[in-house]
């Protein structure tokens, strides 16, 4: 078996969840890497959308921001931001919203706004951006983040984006018709919501990961699916695609502008 | 009707202490030169509007020119947090600022409503979101036809909007290309609009559906080559990612920040931007 890191496993496991027919609203960071690995491997026709208005984009390297020029250069079309949010997101055209998170709870509620009290924050984070409506308007939501006691918490400090609220049918009670979070991919495991309670439950451990390790890096008591699986390790091809993408990205963004190459 | 004037004059004539102002740009075409001119002229007590306040609002806040920010994502794109904004929100340095926080969908709708001359924007949003609890300007309205409860926010109607664009023709018609963001709405929603451009050309040579702002929608145009740096101008120069990373270090410390601002903004002029894009220009 080829050696791989837990970060690589996370990105590849997340990429596998995407299909060729998906229309995916891509968050920056970990989701962006996963979505582009999917596009460069098993889902060449996946439609990737970034909130800057780029629809059907196919960047050669990972963008540093949601509005890098390469997203526009390689897009099928680039629309104004109000159109993005009104026609495409609110209009129900997007099947999957792929988000990262600073803090998440066991029901997939996400905080990227503040640590501490909103009016007197301990740490003021950037805020929600597009996430509140991505979470409610996309057909379903995938989330990816690295596990830690800081990021996977019993109670989030602020409900930036609504997942399953207090669980159960909380979404329906608020009049939200979309599925909400259906998948959480971390560096250690794959989690899916329990059909009834909607609490994220580990359905697959990545190779070599123990239950103890999952619990040590999670702030709530972890529950496991009855038929717990092991995530297939990254294939040689998957790893090559991811590493090539990262190397191209590093070359394009790294170093000073003197080293920069015109696209 | 747009008049061509130097940036210092355009800012002095169109931005006044106490104004509500938008310096818009969605990662692309951010009007850095215009914001730096506003800082040099020390025009304060501002309410700043922007979907994605980034380095320029961090700079204006750190220089004490801002009393309130209306926004939906306050971060250094691809890098992290805004350290001067954080210092103001968390510690009140150099002054406390008021924040009115929205989602992107709300801000985009609010700009569009402003451009459309409406008092408010209506959309499906904020369901289950915590911002509803902390921002009294997020309200709801019932659809008179279906009974659906929808979110409502006030429209955005700045006293003045500043944007950067690729080019203007000699009559002052402005062309924006690439990621067009919210700039057209920001201009049409505002009482006054100032546009900095890379260059002035005989003909815009634009296709029929291009994003063009006719000259009678723009108050003033100033030519500032490189005026979006370290942001980028599609077709002219690339984003200077290293500068965004560097900003994180500069903004982390108050003294470093003030020294940088003196050297690179207060003691500089719009002409320095042309130098800053050297090595980033499109082949």
Task: Map tokens 């930036």 to a residue.
Answer: A160
Structural domains of chain B in order of their starting residue, each with its CATH number: 3-102+157-276 (3.40.1080.10), 104-154 (no CATH)
A261 domain residue, yes or no: no
A118 domain residue, yes or no: yes
Number of separate domains in chain A: 1
Give the ipTM: 0.95
- CB of A202 closer than 8 Å to CB of A176: no
Q: What is the CATH number of the domain that holds A122?
A: 3.40.1080.10
Q: What is the mean pLDDT of residues B216-221?
A: 98
Sheet holding A54-55, edge to edge: A77-78, A54-55, A47-50, A23-26, A96-99, A140-144, A181-185, A189-193, A200-205, A224-230
Write out chain B residues lying below 8 Å of A63, CB-based. Answer: 78
| 8 Å CB contact of A131 and B103 | yes
A1 domain residue, yes or no: no
Strand residue runs (E) in A127-244: 140-144, 181-185, 189-193, 200-205, 224-230
Q: Which pLDDT does position B283 carry in this prediction?
A: 72
Q: Which pLDDT does position A1 carry in this prediction?
A: 56
Q: What angle do CA B263, B267, B273 make, to 5 degrees?
A: 85
Q: Which pLDDT does position A260 carry in this prediction?
A: 33
| pTM of the predicted structure, to 2 decimals | 0.95
Please say if the pLDDT value at position A261 is more than 50. Answer: no
Please say if the pLDDT value at position A256 is more than 80. Answer: no
What is the rounded CA–CA span in Å between residue A257 and residue B89? 33
Domain residues for A29? 6-253
**B79: pLDDT confidence band, cut at 50, 70 and 90?**
confident
pLDDT in tens, A166-183: 999 999 999 999 999 999
DSSP state of B281: B
Q: Shortest Cα distance from A227 to chain B (angstroms)?
A: 33
| 8 Å CB contact of B181 and A165 | no
Which chain A residue is nearest to residue B108, measuring alpha carbons? A82
DSSP state of A234: P
Does any CB of chain A come closer than 8 Å to the CB of residue B101?
Answer: yes
- Angle at which helix B55-62 crosses helix B32-40, to 10 degrees, equals 10
Q: What is the rounded average pLDDT for all residues in chain A? A: 94
**B212: pLDDT confidence band, cut at 50, 70 and 90?**
very high
Q: Which pLDDT does position A27 carry in this prediction?
A: 85
Q: Which pLDDT does position A252 carry in this prediction?
A: 85
Q: What is the mean pLDDT of residues B238-245?
A: 92
Other C-beta atoms within 10 Å of A195: how many? 7
pLDDT in tens, B97-150: 999 999 999 999 999 999 999 999 999 999 999 999 999 999 999 999 999 999
Give the active site residues of A.
51
A263 domain residue, yes or no: no
Q: In B174-201, which positions are buried (b, 16+ CB within 10 angstroms) versus exposed (e)?
A: bbbbbbbbbbbbbbbbbebbbbbbbeee
Q: Which pLDDT does position B282 carry in this prediction?
A: 86
- CB of A228 closer than 8 Å to CB of A204: yes
């Amino acid at each position: 078996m080829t050696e791989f890191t837990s970060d690589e496993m996370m990105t590849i496991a997340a990429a596998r969840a995407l299909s060729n027919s998906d229309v995916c609203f891509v968050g920056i960071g970990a989701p962006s890497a996963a979505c582009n690995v999917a596009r460069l491997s098993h889902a060449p026709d996946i439609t990737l959308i970034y909130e800057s208005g780029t629809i059907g984009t196919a960047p050669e390297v990972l963008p540093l921001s949601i509005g890098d020029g390469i997203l526009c250069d390689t897009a099928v079309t680039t629309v104004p931001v109000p159109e993005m949010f009104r026609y495409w997101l609110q209009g129900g055209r997007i099947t999957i919203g792929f988000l990262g998170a600073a803090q998440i709870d066991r029901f997939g509620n996400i905080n990227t706004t503040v640590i501490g009290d909103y009016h007197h924050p301990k740490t003021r984070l950037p805020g929600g951006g597009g996430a509140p409506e991505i979470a409610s308007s996309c057909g379903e939501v995938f989330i990816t983040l690295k596990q830690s006691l800081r990021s996977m918490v019993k109670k989030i400090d602020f409900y930036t984006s609504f997942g399953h609220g207090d669980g159960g049918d909380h979404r329906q009670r608020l009049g939200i018709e979309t599925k909400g979070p259906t998948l959480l991919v971390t560096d250690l495991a794959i989690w899916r919501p329990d059909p009834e309670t909607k609490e994220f439950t580990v359905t697959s451990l990545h190779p070599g990961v123990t239950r103890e390790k999952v619990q040590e890096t999670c702030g709530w008591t972890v529950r496991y699916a009855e038929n717990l699986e092991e995530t297939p390790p990254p294939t040689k091809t998957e790893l090559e695609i991811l590493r090539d993408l990262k190397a191209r990205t590093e070359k394009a963004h790294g170093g000073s502008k003197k080293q920069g190459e015109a696209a | 009707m747009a008049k061509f004037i130097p940036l210092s004059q355009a800012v002095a004539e169109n931005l006044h202490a106490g104004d509500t102002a938008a310096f818009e740009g969605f990662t692309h075409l951010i009007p850095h030169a215009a914001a730096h001119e506003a800082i040099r002229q020390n025009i304060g007590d501002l309410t700043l509007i922007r979907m994605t306040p980034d380095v320029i609002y961090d700079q204006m806040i750190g220089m004490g020119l801002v009393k309130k920010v209306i926004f939906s994502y306050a971060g250094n794109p691809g890098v992290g947090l805004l350290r001067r904004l954080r210092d103001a929100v968390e510690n009140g340095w150099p002054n406390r600022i008021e924040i009115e926080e929205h989602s992107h969908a709300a801000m985009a709708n609010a700009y569009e409503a402003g451009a459309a001359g409406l008092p408010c924007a209506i959309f499906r949003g904020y369901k289950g979101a915590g911002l509803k609890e902390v921002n009294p300007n997020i309200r709801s309205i019932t659809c008179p036809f279906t009974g659906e409860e929808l979110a409502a926010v006030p429209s955005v109607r700045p006293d003045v909007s500043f944007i950067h664009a690729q080019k203007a023709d000699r009559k002052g018609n402005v062309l924006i290309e690439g990621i067009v963001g919210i700039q057209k709405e920001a201009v049409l929603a505002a009482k006054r609009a100032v546009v900095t451009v890379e260059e002035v050309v005989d003909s815009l040579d634009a296709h029929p559906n291009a994003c063009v702002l006719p000259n009678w929608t723009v108050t003033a145009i100033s030519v500032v080559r490189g005026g979006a740096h370290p942001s980028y101008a599609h077709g002219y120069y690339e984003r200077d990612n290293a500068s965004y990373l560097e900003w994180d270090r500069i903004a982390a410390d108050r003294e470093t920040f003030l020294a940088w601002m003196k050297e690179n903004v207060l003691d500089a002029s719009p002409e320095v931007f042309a130098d800053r894009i050297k090595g980033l220009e499109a082949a």
